[in-house]
Structure 1
Amino acid sequence: MQKRKFVWMEQYRQRFEAVLAKFARGGESTEPCAPENAEKYNGHLPESIFYLWDKVGIGVFRDGYFQLCDPDKYRPVLRQAFGNDPDLDPDKTYPIGFSAFGEILAWNEDHRDVRIALVDSFVSCRWLLAPKQNIDPNITLLTSLLLADGASQDPLDENGSPLFPSVRSRLGILERAQIYGFKPILALGGNRTADSLTVYDALPHMSILAQATQLKLMDLKQYPPKLVRMIG
Structure 2
Amino acid sequence: MSEFIIDENFEIFYLDEGFGPPIYSEPVSDEILNKFKTKLPNQLLEYWKVFGFSGWGNGLFWLVNPEEYQDVLDAWLENIETPPHEEYFVIARSAFGDLDIWGTIHGHCFTISSTMNQIFPSMEEMNIGEEDLLLRIFISSQEKRFLDIKDFKNKSLFDRAVKKYGELTKNEMFGFEPALVLGGEAKIENVRKLPIISHLQLLASLDTPRMMLDIGKYVDEQGLE
TM over 0.5: yes
Q: Which of 7, 20, 25 is residue 22 of structure 2 equivalent to?
A: 25
Partner of 1:187, secondary structure, is helix
In the other structure, the counterpart of 1:40 is 35
In the other structure, the counterpart of 2:103 is 108
1:25 counterpart letter in structure 2: P
1:167-211 deviation per Cα after TM superposition (whole angstroms, max 9, x unaligned): 122222111211000012122332221110010011101111111
Separation in structure 2 between the aligned mates of residue 173 and residue 142 of structure 1, nearest angstrom: 26
Partner of 1:75, secondary structure, is helix
Separation in structure 2 between the aligned mates of residue 149 and residue 176 of structure 1, nearest angstrom: 20
Partner of 1:155, secondary structure, is coil
State the 1:135 CA deviation. 7.6
TM-score with structure 1 setting the length: 0.78
TM-score with structure 2 setting the length: 0.81
Contact kept? 1:59, 1:68, Cα under 8 Å: yes
Residues 72-221 of structure 1: pairs in structure 2 closer than 5 A: 72-87=67-82, 92-113=87-108, 114-126=110-122, 128=123, 130-131=124-125, 136-219=130-213, 221=215
Partner of 1:219, secondary structure, is coil
Q: Which of 50, 58, 78 is residue 55 of structure 1 equivalent to?
A: 50
1:89–1:196 CA distance, 2 compared to 1 (3 A): farther
Q: How many residues are treated as equivalent by the alignment?
A: 213
State the 1:111 CA deviation. 1.8
State the 1:61 CA deviation. 1.8
Q: What is the root-mean-square deviation of aligned Cα atoms in Å?
A: 3.2
1:73-102 deviation per Cα after TM superposition (whole angstroms, max 9, x unaligned): 111111111115332679711111210001
State the 1:144 CA deviation. 1.9
State the 1:51 CA deviation. 0.5
Q: Which is worse superposed, 147-156 or 206-215?
A: 147-156
Contact kept? 1:106, 1:115, Cα under 8 Å: yes
Separation in structure 2 between the aligned mates of residue 120 and residue 167 of structure 1, nearest angstrom: 18
1:214–1:84 CA distance, 2 compared to 1 (3 A): closer
Contact kept? 1:101, 1:180, Cα under 8 Å: yes
1:74–1:132 CA distance, 2 compared to 1 (3 A): closer
Structure 2 residues without counterparts, runs of 5 or longer: 219-225
Contact kept? 1:34, 1:58, Cα under 8 Å: yes
Contact kept? 1:33, 1:56, Cα under 8 Å: yes
Q: Which is worse superposed, 105-114 or 130-139?
A: 130-139
Q: Which is worse superposed, 170-179 or 86-95?
A: 86-95
Aligned-residue sequence identity (percent) comes to 20
Separation in structure 2 between the aligned mates of residue 55 and residue 43 of structure 1, nearest angstrom: 19
2:120 counterpart letter in structure 1: S
